[in-house]
Amino acid sequence: MDLKANHTAPILTDPTPINKQRLGIHDSLLPCSPGTIFSQGLFLTLPWKKPGVLDDVRSTGWLDAMKSSSPRNRAKNNGIDFSSNDVDVAYRDWMLKYPSALAAFEQIANNAKGKIIALFLDYDGTLSPIVSNPDHAFMSHPMRAAVRNVAKYFPTAIISGRSREKVRKFVGLKELYYAGSHGMDIMGPVRPPTDHTTATVRSTSEEDKDGNLFQPASEFLPMINEVFVALVDITKDIKGVKVEDNKFCVSVHYRNVDEKSWQTVAQYVQDTLEQYPRLRLTHGRMVLEVRPVLKWDKGKAVEFLLESLGLNNCDDVLPIYVGDDRTDEDAFKFLRDGDRGYGILVSSEPKESSAYYSLRDPSELAIHDDNNQQQ
């Protein structure tokens, strides 16, 4: 790769232009094309604030969003504590709108008859429990066995906000597709795909010469590295903060930070981003995430993978996406809008979603495989 510079930032350019011949995908899906790889059309238009003007994070709603994602606050509403019974009633009411995927398993299986299921799985909070230390978000052996078993029959992809390398290490299955950094870093199985797939995403780097790779945001790598170092430095005195380098995005975890300091965390992140108008801030479960201003998300990653597999817009394909977070909503919405397939939201509390079904806990995902193994 050559390192070039323009008036805004160094740009990593790939000597092999990305085109549909190389990717085997439809033009309309290409996030970038030769000569227009980082044209304006790829970027989101954001109402960005003027440099040097500090926002109060409370006025932008960040503090509210941080509090609402806290498990410590889930049984409270407007300062009122609800009993566990009230919470259960609220959850049961919510399940009328988002039925349990376990209870609806037969219905889903009936709809899938004669179709290829394409399975997309988020990692944190979906395959693994949410834990205090994000480096310790390990998936259980039964869960790994369940995913391995499913991947024998259906194309299966993990789509995570983590770096692709990290989530691949956690899952440890070579036969899957992995999309890290919210879908900005996609790789196919290292082993040749089985006959249920026709993957055409080709490798472009030394690192992944034994796999397949697609990276629509490679231009942003130097900028992301720079902002990672800046965020580590600015938050170093806040106890409990963990800044994680996820390659094409940076996560600032505040799960272990005293709630009194959350506002400071959000303000520091916003202050840092003042100098990076080509990066934006999003919010996940107890985490602030910095990512490129690209029209690319988990929904786009699902669309890209379906197209790459030759499974998009096919009547005999049923895509299913399982996730727990706001960032998964883009994928749920993509499946719902096109009446393409089902989203399954993993959540122990009621919340609005574009998913069709729900699961209360990550462990419920592995139940059917346990049953199969016992039979």
Shortest Å distance, C-beta 304 to Mg ion: 19
Q: Which stretch binds Mg ion (CB under 5 A): 35-43, 120-128, 186-194, 207-215?
A: 120-128
Give yes or no for residue 124 binding Mg ion (CB under 5 A): yes
Residue from the set 31, 125, 155, 180 that interacts with Mg ion by CB under 5 A: 125
Give the interface size with Mg ion as a residue count (CB under 5 A): 5
Query: Closest CB to Mg ion among 160 and 267?
Result: 160
Query: Closest CB to Mg ion among 98 and 276?
Result: 98
Query: Closest CB to Mg ion among 43 and 138?
Result: 138
Which is it for strands 156-159 and 342-346: parallel, antiparallel or unpaired?
unpaired
Shortest Å distance, C-beta 326 to Mg ion: 9
Query: Closest CB to Mg ion among 317 and 355?
Result: 355
- Residue type at 26 in one-letter notation: H
Shortest Å distance, C-beta 353 to Mg ion: 13
Shortest Å distance, C-beta 101 to Mg ion: 16
* Residue 122 among the catalytic residues: yes
Catalytic residue, chosen from 81, 122, 271, 297, is 122
Per the rule left: phi > 0, alpha: psi between -120 and 50, beta: everything else, 205 is beta
Residues between 188 and 227 with contacts to Mg ion, criterion CB under 5 A:
none
Shortest Å distance, C-beta 375 to Mg ion: 30
Residue from the set 219, 325, 330, 369 that interacts with Mg ion by CB under 5 A: 325
Query: Closest CB to Mg ion among 137 and 201?
Result: 137
Question: What are the residues binding Mg ion (CB under 5 A)?
Answer: 122, 124-125, 324-325
Active site residues: 122
